[in-house]
């Protein structure tokens, strides 16, 4: 028997060697073919060869065949990579609004930013940036001119929103960091709440600090809100798990393309609390490190996961240096929760419109067990213990928000109102809403209902099939029933629209944390979660 085992081992080794040689031969073959194509194009193509453009397109197309997360970053885009990894950039710290042929408008300065320190506020017009008129600039070019190395100065010519005065303002750029903890506070006498939107360096330390502060305020249970959190550093995800489970607990396992690449990551620090009940909120925008945290706390029976199924990104990326200061973000492993689940979607190329994983039948998934014996499944994302639907907004609300109508109204409101009440006392009234209706009526946007858009599509298909004329009476009657003028439709959706206006106004006058407070005021999904029994 031993002889047969040795023989089998030699055969397998030979097969692996041949396979590796075949792979390397094909790689060399295609490299040679590619180089020959480029040389021949350069020598024979009828027009001047746009080498940079076609090579970049070729690289992008090649990487897109692998997965959505393996990408090439040339030197000129390194700033964008730093923004992705650390949520930081050099600049003045403000969101701008820009229409073609008009000046840049300060839309939303960040609390504590240079924009705030130097007195810029919502509605201020930036006429020039370092002497360059902004009317002729694109939005991105305007933004890029505002950015720069921390410590350098940018000179703005500003028309102030309140007085109409035109001033020259010299602003020293700083390193702007978007906080990973957007808000932490008490929802009621016993429920603490932390809204975490990223996983950059030391966010686990921030959560530790916020947790301890909330406990001093009487917190008896914690809501960790990871909805919309697209992830970040895996190390920070592990550190957050470490805060709430015993030292030495398995947090996540990563597996590359060889047995040697398997790595198990255990918690290495003492927890701050292993008993307090925890609710983790997730949705289709919760991805990557958010899924490591929610998956680990679910598998270890340490938290109750509530909301909707997460995105399903179970891939680990590493940054590799390339020639000429380029870099490649490359998928090097898949990660697995403590029970052994891989949360990567079975088919990451087929998703719902919002990017979430579609329905996966149990026959295509496998069953795993949590530390306490509960059944959990793989196949795509983290499935919550308690499924809670989000609000279903009308098409009109999406048009008002995504079309910038509410944004432009808020800027107009800020021009006309020097202040609003403190956020806890601020409520957008019915009389205020009449002001919005008057503004929105003057704006050009697609205000059709979902039913009307479906009707328009159906009518076009009937026209293609030659059926519209024979059905004209029925179609005319249906169109008349679905028609609704802009003003009437806006009034009909008042209760949906007001929370968005309140949040945006609070943010402009009292900064980002105030906006979160308004959002919590209307968060029906969270309110439902607080009434559900915990596992």
Which residues carry out catalysis?
Answer: 288, 299, 313
Is residue 42 within 8 Å of residue 307, measured between CB atoms? no
| Closest by Cα among 81, 58, 75, 65 to 317 | 81
First CA to last CA across the chain, in angstroms? 52
The C-alpha atoms of residue 210 and residue 204 are separated, in whole angstroms, by: 10
The C-alpha atoms of residue 143 and residue 154 are separated, in whole angstroms, by: 12
The C-alpha atoms of residue 193 and residue 278 are separated, in whole angstroms, by: 10
- Distances in whole angstroms, Cα of residue 187 to Cα of each of 41, 191, 427, 446, 523: 65, 5, 18, 37, 12
The C-alpha atoms of residue 147 and residue 80 are separated, in whole angstroms, by: 12
| Closest by Cα among 445, 518, 426 to 195 | 518
- Please give the DSSP secondary-structure letter assigned to residue 67: -
| Closest by Cα among 361, 349, 353 to 313 | 349
Can you state the percent helix, strand and coil of the chain, rounding each to 5? 45, 20, 40
Q: Which helix (H) or strand (E) holds 377?
A: strand 375-377
Collapsed DSSP state (helix, strand, coil) of residue 203? helix
Pairing of strands 327-336, 71-73: antiparallel
- 147 Cβ partners below 8 Å, 6+ apart? 79, 89, 90, 91, 173
- Residue 375 dihedral angles phi and psi, to the nearest 5°: -85, 130
- Distances in whole angstroms, Cα of residue 372 to Cα of each of 266, 267, 365, 535: 19, 19, 20, 11
- Please give the DSSP secondary-structure letter assigned to residue 184: E
Instruction: Sort 185 into a burial class: Cβ within 10 Å, 0-12 / 13-18 / 19+.
Output: middle
Residue 128 burial (CB count, 10 A)? 18
Pairing of strands 221-225, 278-282: parallel
H helix runs in 168-219, sequence order: 203-216
Is residue 162 within 8 Å of residue 450, measured between CB atoms? no
- 28 Cβ partners below 8 Å, 6+ apart? none
Buried b (16+ CB within 10 A) or exposed e, 352-374: eeeebbeebeeeebeebebeeee
């Amino acid at each position: 028997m031993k002889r047969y085992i040795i023989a089998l081992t030699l055969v397998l080794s030979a097969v692996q060697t041949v396979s590796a040689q075949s792979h390397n031969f094909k790689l060399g073959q295609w490299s040679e073919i590619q180089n020959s194509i480029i040389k021949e194009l350069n020598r024979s193509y009828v027009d001047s060869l746009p080498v940079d453009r076609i090579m970049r397109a070729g690289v992008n197309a090649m990487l897109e065949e692998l997965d959505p997360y393996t990408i090439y970053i040339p030197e000129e885009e390194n700033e964008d990579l730093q923004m992705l990894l650390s949520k930081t950039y050099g600049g003045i710290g403000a969101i701008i609004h820009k229409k073609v042929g008009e000046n840049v408008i300060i839309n939303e300065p960040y609390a504590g930013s240079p924009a705030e320190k130097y007195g810029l506020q919502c509605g201020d017009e930036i006429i020039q940036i370092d002497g360059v008129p902004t009317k002729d600039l694109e939005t991105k070019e305007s933004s890029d001119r505002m950015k720069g190395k921390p410590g350098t100065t940018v000179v703005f010519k500003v028309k102030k929103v309140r007085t109409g005065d035109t001033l020259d303002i010299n602003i020293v750029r700083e390193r702007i960091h978007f906080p990973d903890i957007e808000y932490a506070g008490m929802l009621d006498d016993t429920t603490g709440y932390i809204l975490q939107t990223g996983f950059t360096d030391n966010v686990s330390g921030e959560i530790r600090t916020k947790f301890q502060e909330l406990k001093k305020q009487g917190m008896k249970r914690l809501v960790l809100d990871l909805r919309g959190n697209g992830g970040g550093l895996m190390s920070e995800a592990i550190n957050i798990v470490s805060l709430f489970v015993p030292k030495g607990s398995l947090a996540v396992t990563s597996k590359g393309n060889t047995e040697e690449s398997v790595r198990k990551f255990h918690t290495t620090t003492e927890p701050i609390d292993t008993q307090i009940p925890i609710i983790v909120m997730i949705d289709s925008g919760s991805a990557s490190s958010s899924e490591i945290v929610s998956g680990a706390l679910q598998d270890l029976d340490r938290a109750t996961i509530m909301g909707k199924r997460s995105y399903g990104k179970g891939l680990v990326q590493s940054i590799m240096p390339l020639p000429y200061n380029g870099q490649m973000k490359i998928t090097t492993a898949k990660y697995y929760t403590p029970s052994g689940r891989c949360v990567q979607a079975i088919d990451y190329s087929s998703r719902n419109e919002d990017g979430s994983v579609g329905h996966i039948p149990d026959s295509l998934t496998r069953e795993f067990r949590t530390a306490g014996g509960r059944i959990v499944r793989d196949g795509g994302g983290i499935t919550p213990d308690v499924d809670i639907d989000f609000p279903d907004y009308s098409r009109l609300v999406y048009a008002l928000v995504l079309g910038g109508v509410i944004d432009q109204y808020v800027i107009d409101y800020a021009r006309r109102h020097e202040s609003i009440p403190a956020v806890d006392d601020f409520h957008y009234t019915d009389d205020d809403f009449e002001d919005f209706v008057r503004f929105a009526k003057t704006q050009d946007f697609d205000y059709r209902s979902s039913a009307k858009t479906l009707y328009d599509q159906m009518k076009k298909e009937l026209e293609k099939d030659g059926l519209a004329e024979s059905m004209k009476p029925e179609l005319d009657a249906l169109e008349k029933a679905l028609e609704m003028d802009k003003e009437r439709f806006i009034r009909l959706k008042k209760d949906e629209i007001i929370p968005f206006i309140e949040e945006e106004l609070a943010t402009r006058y009292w900064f980002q944390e105030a906006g979160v407070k308004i959002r919590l005021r209307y968060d029906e999904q969270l309110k439902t979660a607080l009434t559900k029994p915990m596992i």
